[in-house]
Amino acid sequence: MLSRVADSLYWMARYMERTDSILRMLKINYASSQDNSEDFSWQPVLRIFGHLEQAEAAEMEPNSRKVIQYMVLDRENPNSVFTMVRRARENARGVQDNITTEVWQCLNGFYHVVHEERLTYLLQHEDPITVLDALIKECMLYFGVSETTMFRGEGLSFMNVGRYMERAIQTSDILDVKLSNLAYDLDKPTDTTYWKYLLMSISGYALYLKRYRSGFEARNIIDQVLFNVDFPRSVLYSLNQVQRHFQRLQSDQNTEGFSKVDFMIGKLRSKLQYSDVQSVSHTGLHHYLNSITTDISSIGNTLNHYYFAYS
């Protein structure tokens, strides 16, 4: 497979995973903003996902609709849904001969949806959750279509590596946002809805109720979000998937690149596997989450160096 094609597939998948994850995060944060809870603030969202300076974020923060408008449709914001869908489609457009027509048409359709004038109006005047739900459905369609139609091969492996790397980053960022609202104090008493919304935003609420049975306890929540291997959005689950899909790329060619990247993935995976909440909160949660995303970035850089570099 052409290096450029592998690169594009990897980024197409990353952008789509990020789009999905940001949409869910926005939806739940919006719901949370309607509760008048004291713990709630848009600021971390705007700083981490919207790349805004503190002052800009503070100015926008009181107006939930404005925040959503900025995160969904702003053309300057590199993490807005609009920008990411455009990038995902741009990547897809360059590799149409390597994806199925179904995947291409699905992304192309999504691209036209985010370009509709009506969307701006709806976000301003109608129920934002309805709009966000409709966009999330477009993402689901993409995931379903790519899973059902893409041929099993190198291309799909690169897509899945990108997808799960992105997911690990997003989950850890979302957790970081939530914890920063509490100043990383796990014993700070919080409203149960606070944690409930976090779990809902990553579809982990039902699993939590079944598995932990203990009310909403910060330590249990961190355990699920970071280490639970049955939870498809946990960081450890995502890294297991990265490893699994990357190992399918093993071949007689490029053995040097393979073993380098494989080593890094394995190392990070083990770091997660042999951590627990207690040891992690000891070293500092913010620091720990940060080290995960940094490690993932360097895996990305090495992958880029050995597999994608073409110019």
Partner 1 sequence: MLTSPLFHHYALAPRTWDEMYDEEKVRFQYRNIFEFLQRIPPDELSKKEELAKKLFMSQGITFTVYSSGEGIEKIFPFDIIPRIITATEWNFIEKGIKQRLRALNLFLKDVYHHQFILKDGVVPVELVYSCPHYLREMQGFNIPHDIYVHIAGIDLIRDHDGTFYVLEDNLRTPSGVSYMIENREITKRIFPDLIPQNFVRPVTQYPNILYKNLLALSPRQVSAPTVVVLTPGIYNSAYFEHATLARLMGIELVEGRDLVVENHIVYMKTTAGLQQVDVIYRRVDDEYLDPLVFEPSSVLGVSGLLSAYRKGNVAIVNSIGNGVADDKATYVYVPEMIRYYLNEEPILKNVPTYQLSNEDEREHVLKNINQMVVKKTNESGGYGMLMGHAASDEEITAYQKQIIRNPRQFIAQPVISLSSAPCYINGKVQPRRVDLRPFALCGPTGIEIVAGGLTRVALKEGSLVVNSSQGGGSKDTWVLAK
Residues lying near partner 1 in the complex (CB under 8 A): 1-6, 75, 90, 93-97, 101, 104-105, 108-109, 112, 154, 158, 249, 251, 253-254, 307-308, 310-311
For 45-72, give the DSSP string.
HHHHTT---HHHHHHHTT-HHHHHHHHH
CB nearer partner 1, residue 98 or residue 224: 98
CB nearer partner 1, residue 98 or residue 171: 98
CB nearer partner 1, residue 56 or residue 90: 90
Residue 111, C-beta contacts closer than 8 angstroms, at least 6 positions apart:
85, 86, 89
Q: Single out the residue of 71, 97, 264, 98 nearest to residue 165, CA to CA.
A: 264
Q: How far is the CB of 188 from partner 1 (least distance, A)?
A: 45
Task: For residue 119, give the 3-state DSSP assignment.
Answer: helix
157, containing H or E segment? helix 154-181
CB 146 within 8 A of CB 90: no
CB 47 within 8 A of CB 25: no
- For residue 276, which phi and psi values (nearest 5 degrees)? -140, 175
CB nearer partner 1, residue 158 or residue 197: 158
Q: How far is the CB of 265 from partner 1 (least distance, A)?
A: 16
Q: How far is the CB of 75 from partner 1 (least distance, A)?
A: 7
Residue 133, C-beta contacts closer than 8 angstroms, at least 6 positions apart:
27
CB nearer partner 1, residue 4 or residue 196: 4
Distance, CA of 107 to CA of 90 (rounded, Å): 9
Q: How far is the CB of 224 from partner 1 (least distance, A)?
A: 35
**Helix 117-125 × helix 64-73 angle, to 10°:** 160
CB nearer partner 1, residue 158 or residue 227: 158
Q: How far is the CB of 214 from partner 1 (least distance, A)?
A: 47
For 33-44, give the DSSP string.
HTTT-TT--SHH
Q: How far is the CB of 84 from partner 1 (least distance, A)?
A: 15
CB nearer partner 1, residue 4 or residue 260: 4
CB 97 within 8 A of CB 87: no
Distance, CA of 47 to CA of 51 (rounded, Å): 5
Q: How far is the CB of 169 from partner 1 (least distance, A)?
A: 23
Q: How far is the CB of 96 from partner 1 (least distance, A)?
A: 4
For 196-224, give the DSSP string.
HHHHHHTT-HHHHHHHH-SS--HHHHHHH
CB nearer partner 1, residue 232 or residue 257: 257
